[in-house]
Amino acid sequence: MERLDKILAKSGYGTRKEVKQLIKEGRVELAGKVIIDAGFKISAQSIKQISVDGNQAEIHDSLTFMLNKPSGFITALSDARHDTIAEFIPQKWQNKGLVPIGRLDKDTEGLLLLTNDGQLSHRICSPKWGIEKEYYLITQGRPFDRQDIEKFAQGFKTLDGTEFKPAKLKLIDGFEAYLTVCEGQYHQVKRMAKSTGREVKYLKRIRIADLVLDPDLQPGEIRMLTKDERTRLYLACRLMD
Ligand code: URA
C-alpha cells in the first residue's frame, strides 16, 4: 500500500505539494470516486484505477524525458564554468533524481534522454545491449565515398588502438550523412570521422533505439516520454516497464 500523493508525484504529476493541491481540487479519482485525501492508501491492484482529470493515470516507478539539447550547454547537472542542461529541467522535475543518459558534447545538438532509472540508463549506454544511436552530421575535408561505408560497416581500429564496432553510414552527399552506432565512446562520431580524414562541423543526435527526436520539440525544450515511446524504449532495452 502506498500513499496516493506519493504515487502521483513519483509518476511525474508534479512536486508532492502540487500533487496534494491536485487531489484537493477533486481532480483525482479512484474507480470513479473522487479522493480528496492525499494520504489515501492505494493497493498495488487498484493503481490501474487511478484517474486524473478523467483520464487513466500513467503510473510508473521511474521517469524518462526527452530533451532537444541546444549547442553551447554541457551534459552535466552543475558546473562552475559552463552552462549546463540542468537549466532546461523545470522546477517540478528537479528533485526527481533525473540524470542524462550518456553524454552529448557541448557543441552537439539533439536527442538527450534523462531518467531516474539506472538500469535503463546502463542498458542504453552499454555496447553489450547494442542500442542504436543515430546522428546527422556535416563534415569538411575529403567527401565520403563507398569505401567509408564499408569501413564503418566492418568496424575498425585507429592508429592509437581505439576500436570502433560496426556502424552504419548512410550518405546524403559527400559531406552530409547519417551515422548509426551501437556504443557511446568519448567523442565517438568526431573521432570516427577524424580517423578517415574529416572534421565534423555539425552534429545532431536524431534517434536512440526507435525513439526519434520529436520534431515539435524546439532546442531547449523537454518533455516526458509518451506512454507508447516509453513502452517501446523499455522493450528495446529488454526491460519490463
Ligand atoms: N559523438 C561525438 O563525437 N560527440 C557527441 O556529442 C556524440 C557522439
* pLDDT digit string, tens, across residues 13-37: 988 899 999 999 999 999 999 999 9
Q: Is the pLDDT of residue 2 over 80?
A: yes
Q: Could you tell me if 116 and 97 are in contact, meaning their C-beta atoms sit under 8 angstroms apart? A: yes
- Structural domains in the chain, CATH included, are 2-56 (3.10.290.10), 64-236 (3.30.2350.10)
Q: Confidence class of residue 164 from pLDDT cuts 50, 70 and 90?
A: very high
Q: Is the pLDDT of residue 240 over 90?
A: no
Contacts of 17 (CB under 8 A, 6+ apart): none
Average of per-residue pLDDT across 136-147 = 95
Q: Is the pLDDT of residue 198 over 90?
A: yes
Query: Is the shortest distance between the CB of 194 and ligand 1 below 6 Å?
Result: no
Q: Write the pLDDT tens digit of every residue in 58-94.
A: 999 899 999 999 999 999 999 999 999 999 999 888 8
Predicted pLDDT of residue 95: 87
Spot the catalytic one: 105, 107, 214, 241: 105
Predicted pLDDT of residue 179: 98
Secondary structure, 3-state, the chain: CEEHHHHHHHCCCCCHHHHHHHHHCCCEEECCEECCCCCCEECHHHHHHEEECCEECCCCCCCEEEEEECCCCECCCCCCCCCEHHHHCCHHHCCCCCEECCCCCCCCEEEEEEECCHHHHHHHHCHHHCCCEEEEEEEEECCCCHHHHHHHHHCEECCCCCEECCCEEEECCCCEEEEEECCCCCCHHHHHHHCCCEEEEEEEEEEECCEECCCCCCCCCEEECCHHHHHHHHHHCCCCC
Average of per-residue pLDDT across 179-200 = 96
Q: Is the pLDDT of residue 114 over 90?
A: yes
Average of per-residue pLDDT across 29-50 = 95
Nearest protein Cα to ligand 1, atom 3: 187
Q: Is the pLDDT of residue 159 over 90?
A: no
Query: Is the shortest distance between the CB of 187 and ligand 1 below 6 Å?
Result: yes
Decide if 148 is catalytic: no
Q: Is the pLDDT of residue 241 over 80?
A: no
Predicted pLDDT of residue 218: 98
